[in-house]
Amino acid sequence: MAEREVDRSISQTVKAQLALRDQILSGALRPGERISELQAVETTGASRTPVRMALVRLEEEGLLEAIPSGGFMVKAFSERDISDSIELRGTLEGLAARFAAERGVSARELEPLKECLAAIDELLRQVPISVDAFSSYVALNARFHAQLTELSRSPPLIRQIDRASALPFASPSGFVMAQSALPEAQQILIIAQEHHRVVIDAIENREGARAEAVMREHARLAVRNLRLALRNRTHLDLLPALALIKTATD
């Protein structure tokens, strides 16, 4: 094993973690499948120690599950798990929005949020929206949510929201992609954008309850849309995170 290629630009642990996460989310590793350390060593190029650290981190992240007799397997999720995760995230974001409103934020802090808002408005002007525009939307939407979370100025809450989003299907990109598969996509995105607008307004006017309520409604919309999208399974291959849903036939 003399000619092991060692990439010294980043830590081996991080490299292994990213590589394994990719394999899981891309579906190369199926839900319920046991992950062999040796195999992971070969595919990631790191040695066993960093691979093990990466496995532990991915377990804490919620993508893997420890097997009692030893080792790890890819976690499998039900549709209910997914919709619960979205609602959970919405609840936490609602709390973040309330904190932001109650504690007050300066106009300067709201600036980046408003920029996101305007950029999304621009995208939504296209009818029908293109696939490329969807990618931009996904990125902008994620930025909006991340910045909103930051406004709470509460490190424990921010941390928790990050973890809730680690379940990838609960992330904005997850359900937005699902939405993109629907004919009603355009209408849905417009409603979501309205939510974004309202939450900013509520924070500006220090209306904590209203800010919280709209974020929860935002999540409920996403849940409804996910259900709809799961019903017309036609375009679900757009959603890589769905590799994690356990299928009945497997």
Q: In the complex, which residues of this chain contact DNA (CB under 7 A)? A: 1, 4, 6, 8, 11-13, 34-38, 46-50, 52-53, 69-71
Nearest CB to a copy of itself, comparing residues 13 and 186: 13
- C-alpha distance from residue 233 to each of 55, 70, 178, 228, 238 (Å): 31, 36, 10, 9, 10
Shortest reach from residue 162's CB to DNA, in Å: 21
Tell the smallest beta-carbon distance from residue 190 to a copy of itself (Å).
28
Residue 56's binding partner among DNA, a copy of itself, none (Cβ under 5 to 8 angstroms by kind) is a copy of itself
| CB of 32 vs DNA, minimal distance in Å | 14
Burial of 107 (0-12, 13-18, 19+ CB in 10 A): exposed
Spell out the residues 6+ positions from residue 139 whose beta carbon is closer than 8 angstroms to its own: none
For the chain, the distance separating the N- and C-terminal CA atoms, rounded to the nearest angstrom, is 37
List the single partner that 4 binds among a copy of itself, DNA, none, CB under 5 to 8 Å by kind: DNA
**Cβ nearer to a copy of itself, comparing 189 with 222:** 222
Q: Which residue has the tokens 């993508």?
A: 63
Q: How many whole angstroms separate alpha carbon 182 and alpha carbon 225?
A: 9
Minimum CB distance to DNA smaller for 45 or for 240: 45
Question: Nearest approach, Cβ of 85 to DNA (angstroms)?
Answer: 27
Q: State which residue, 102 or 115, has the beta carbon closest to a copy of itself.
A: 102
For 59, residues 6+ apart whose C-beta sits below 8 A from its C-beta are 65, 66, 72
Q: Is the dihedral of CA 3, 19, 136, 208 positive or negative?
A: negative
> Cβ 192 to a copy of itself, closest distance in Å?
21
d(C-alpha 79, C-alpha 84), whole Å: 9
Q: What is the contact surface with a copy of itself in residues (CB under 8 A)? A: 49, 52-53, 56-57, 60-62, 77, 80-81, 84-85, 87-88, 91-92, 95, 99, 154-157, 159-160, 163-164, 167
Question: Which of residues 80 and 125 has its CB atom nearest to a copy of itself in the complex?
Answer: 80
Locus of tokens 């209203």: 210
